[in-house]
Amino acid sequence: MSTAIAQATPLHPVQGASELASVCARHPDVPRLVVLKTDVQRRGVHYTDRALALLDPERHSVTGTHIFGARDGRIAPRPESLLLRDGSSIITTPTPLEQRPYVVDHVDGRLALVDGGAPIEEVEYWPRPDYYAKRTRSGLPMKFVVSARPQRLNVFPYRHCHFWNDGEGCLFCDIVPQLRKGKDDLGIPARLDPEDVRETVAEALREPGRFVGICITAGSNTRGARPFDAEVDYYVEILRAIGASFRTPRFPSQLIGTAFEPAQLERLRRETGLTSYTADLEVLDERLFSWICPGKARWVGYREWKERLVRAVDVFGRGRVDTGIVAGVELARPHGFATEEEGLRRTLDEAEELASRGVSTVFIVWSPRPGTALAGQRNASLDYYVALAEGLHGLRARYGLPIDFDDYRHCGNHPDTDLSRLLRP
Amino acid sequence: MTATSLDPRIPALLADAATVKILATSDRSGRPHATVAPSIHLDDDGRLVHLERLESSGTQRNLVASLWFDRPVAVTVQRGAEAFEIVGVPVKALVAGPEFRRQYEALRARAPEDDLAAVWLIEPREVTELTHDVRRARQEAERPFLTHLDRLAR
């Protein structure tokens, strides 16, 4: 990691082991476990040999589809991620030790997060689902067709993003380099056959009590009579294949796609069992969107993307549409906000406008990875992320926006939606 | 509060289907909520196990708040006149894995329409006997000024 790159001015500069405690003290309404989870996402993890010795591929989920890369740039069988005592997940990746990650170690008979040499919280590896041991009739390992979080199925049916064809991929993203690695190293096809998906989902649902939702996401595909028609066509195929396993016309599901036109959204709603929709703006600022997401900016544009999100509420309903941001990229050099204070204010202002129109904003912690255009930069301070989580959660509370479809069970990657566990309906 | 060992009568009480079990929790603002919780039992490590069936329930929200902010909950168990209060702290919510699956399958075998949101593990921190006759005798012995005089009259 480069230390030469200038960083945005932090909200409250604190370094070292005291940072977790001081941020917890500054945000008494945010539980320590959520602060800790956020910090682990922010700093990444390093697994000791003793911790890896506890990893049992027969019982635990081992890294599978690798749609996005690890911070250490390796594709290797390692723990997919971690579970906390409150049932929420920490979705994080192995990170080089020189970047000061949390250490996952075997301490007193338990797996623990360790910082500064002291164990600070017990964790568990994700349990492996039964279907990971099976193959589709075409011979593909099912774990490469559909990956599993503790309570969610992930379908990544198309591992290419057409924005990259013109060198316009999002600057924080490594989906296309990962596609190449996945294809070469693991034999994962770039485009899944819907029949493989149907078989795998059917098999996954045989496991009692394991899953509460299905998430489908892929790279953007600009092709078609109208831009992105080809992407919608394929999602319809995949969703119908998934729907074949359900006795109900609709099933708890989330599509994370490009910002589609109303007719495309209505088609998804009409022809499939889809129940929620996400189109990630990635960064809530028009100028930064154009810099960080050049493909999205050219093909849709920031304002139009927002309008399409709002129109999606008419199709899927309030509390069933959101947009994701990669929190921290708004501070990236050289064009990001100069201070975290400005980044927070501008982001929450935009999120409030969306919330007032029925669209939630959720964040993931930006994890600068090798193979991305922003490699070598640092993400934001822990204080920034915790304040952002409080702010986005507060907007949902103020505007009465449920977030069940993207909560700790259905995703687990958003510290802000973890906080919804205490909200009264 | 630290973990405490349970009165030897409690395991038998918790194992008896005739025992009434009440789980009392509170939210962040202190708003109380109590529910009959027949699923409460002991695990091999001496922790109370509560099967919460609804993700949207007040009990689920309050147990999350208790785990997050280290706030105690109370479990009252009563069979006939015999009663105890166990104050404890939720330490873990199981949402996946072998033990969750075992409990989920057992619950669904008993109630096929039901669901299971989480298996809660509650670590006992303090036990108080609530059996009325025992408490009255203790009060009369230790705090004689609390008794109505007519009860002592010839």
At residue B86, the pLDDT reads: 97
- pLDDT category, A325, cuts 50, 70, 90? very high
Q: What is the CATH number of the domain that holds B100?
A: 2.30.110.10
B41-42 and B82-94: which strand pairing? unpaired
In a domain, B4, yes or no: no
Is the CB of residue B97 less than 8 Å away from at least one CB of chain A? Answer: yes
Interface of B with A in 41-60 (CB under 8 A): 55-56, 58
Average the pLDDT over B29-57 and give the result: 96
CB B15 within 8 A of CB B7: no
CA–CA min distance B47, chain A (Å): 15
CA–CA min distance B29, chain A (Å): 11
- pLDDT category, A5, cuts 50, 70, 90? low
A65: region left, alpha or beta (phi > 0 left; psi from -120 to 50 alpha):
alpha
Task: Report the mean per-residue pLDDT for chain A.
Answer: 93
At residue A138, the pLDDT reads: 96
Triad B141, B21, B34: Cα angle to 5°: 95
Instruction: Write out pLDDT tens, residues B70-88.
Output: 999 999 999 999 999 999 9
Position A61 pLDDT exceeds 70: yes
A85/B91 CB distance under 8 A: yes
What is the CATH number assigned to the segment(s) A1-30+276-425? 3.30.750.200
CA distance A102 to A115: 6
Average the pLDDT over B50-61 and give the result: 98
For residue B100, the enclosing domain spans 10-151
Position A350 pLDDT exceeds 80: yes
Position B146 pLDDT exceeds 80: yes
Give the full edge-to-edge strand order of the sheet including B82-94: B32-36, B20-26, B73-79, B82-94, B118-129, B48-52, B41-42
CA distance A410 to A211: 9
Average the pLDDT over A196-213 and give the result: 98
A216: β partners = A155, A255
At residue A4, the pLDDT reads: 39
At residue A119, the pLDDT reads: 94
At residue A187, the pLDDT reads: 75
Q: In chain B, what residues touch A85 (CB-CB under 8 Å)?
A: 67, 91-93
DSSP result, A238-278: HHHHHHTT-SSS--SEEEEE----HHHHHHHHHHS----EE
Position A63 pLDDT exceeds 90: no
DSSP result, A24-92: HHH-TTS-HHHHHHHHHHHH-EEE-HHHHHT--TTTB-B----SS--TT------B--EE-TTS-EE--
Is the CB of residue B94 less than 8 Å away from at least one CB of chain A? Answer: yes
- pLDDT category, A189, cuts 50, 70, 90? confident
Position A292 pLDDT exceeds 90: yes
Position B120 pLDDT exceeds 80: yes
Is the CB of residue B68 less than 8 Å away from at least one CB of chain A? Answer: yes
A141: β partners = A135
In a domain, B1, yes or no: no
Average the pLDDT over A133-137 and give the result: 97
> Nearest CB to A208: which of B56, B67, B104?
B104
- pLDDT category, A56, cuts 50, 70, 90? very high
At residue B18, the pLDDT reads: 96
Q: Which amino acid is at A270?
A: R
The domains of chain A are located at: 1-30+276-425, 45-125, 130-275
- Give the pair of three-digit tokens for residue B43: 């695990």
CA–CA min distance B104, chain A (Å): 6
In a domain, B143, yes or no: yes
Instruction: Write out pLDDT tens, residues A147-181.
Output: 999 999 999 999 889 999 999 999 999 877 777 76
Residue B8 exposed, middle or buried by CB count within 10 Å (0-12, 13-18, 19+): exposed
At residue A1, the pLDDT reads: 35
pTM of the model: 0.94
Is the CB of residue B112 less than 8 Å away from at least one CB of chain A? Answer: no
A119: β partners = A114
Q: What are phi and psi of A7, to 5 degrees?
A: -110, 160
Scored b (16 or more CB within 10 A) or e, A385-400 reads bbbbbbbbbbbbeebe
A127/B116 CB distance under 8 A: no
- pLDDT category, A185, cuts 50, 70, 90? low
Position A374 pLDDT exceeds 70: yes
> Nearest CB to A86: which of B55, B67, B98?
B67
Is the CB of residue A210 less than 8 Å away from at least one CB of chain B? Answer: yes
Q: What are phi and psi of A80, to 5 degrees?
A: -60, -45
**Above pLDDT 70, what percent of chain A?**
93
**Which of A29, A60, A80, A83 to mutate to probe the B interface, most B CBs <10 Å?**
A83
DSSP label of A141: B
CA distance A99 to B31: 44
CA distance A375 to A368: 5
At residue A184, the pLDDT reads: 67
In a domain, B41, yes or no: yes
At residue B3, the pLDDT reads: 60
At residue A223, the pLDDT reads: 97
**Which of A149, A151, A421 to mutate to probe the B interface, most B CBs <10 Å?**
A421
Residue A101 exposed, middle or buried by CB count within 10 Å (0-12, 13-18, 19+): buried
Instruction: Select the more confidently predicted residue: A79 or A385.
Output: A385
At residue A17, the pLDDT reads: 56
CB B146 within 8 A of CB B136: no
CA–CA min distance B40, chain A (Å): 19
CB A279 within 8 A of CB A252: no
Q: In chain A, what residues touch B116 (CB-CB under 8 Å)?
A: 209
CA–CA min distance A206, chain B (Å): 12
Average the pLDDT over A339-352 and give the result: 98
Residue B52 exposed, middle or buried by CB count within 10 Å (0-12, 13-18, 19+): buried
Contacts of A199 (CB under 8 A, 6+ apart): A136, A137, A142, A145
Is the CB of residue A83 less than 8 Å away from at least one CB of chain B? Answer: yes
Position A254 pLDDT exceeds 50: yes
**A229, containing H or E segment:** helix A229-243
CA–CA min distance B28, chain A (Å): 8
> Nearest CB to B69: which of A31, A208, A424?
A31
Name the nearest CA neighbour of B52 among B30, B73, B37, B31. B37
In a domain, B3, yes or no: no
Q: Which amino acid is at B45?
A: D
Position A186 pLDDT exceeds 50: yes
A146-148 and A152-155: which strand pairing? antiparallel
- pLDDT category, A265, cuts 50, 70, 90? very high
DSSP result, B2-22: ---PPPTTHHHHHH-TT-EEE
CA distance A202 to A187: 22
Could you tell me the maximum CA-CA distance found in chain A, to the nearest angstrom? 61
* Number of compact structural domains in chain B: 1
**Which of B56, B64, B101, B104 to mutate to probe the A interface, most A CBs <10 Å?**
B64
Average the pLDDT over B32-48 and give the result: 96
Contacts of A369 (CB under 8 A, 6+ apart): A68, A69, A70, A71, A73, A93, A172, A174, A375
Position A129 pLDDT exceeds 70: yes
- Give the pair of three-digit tokens for residue A337: 């906000």
A85/B93 CB distance under 8 A: yes
At residue A2, the pLDDT reads: 35
A150/B64 CB distance under 8 A: no
Position A74 pLDDT exceeds 60: yes
How many residue pairs from chains A and B have C-beta atoms closer than 8 A? Answer: 60
At residue A354, the pLDDT reads: 98
In a domain, B82, yes or no: yes
Average the pLDDT over A50-62 and give the result: 94
Q: Which amino acid is at A79?
A: P
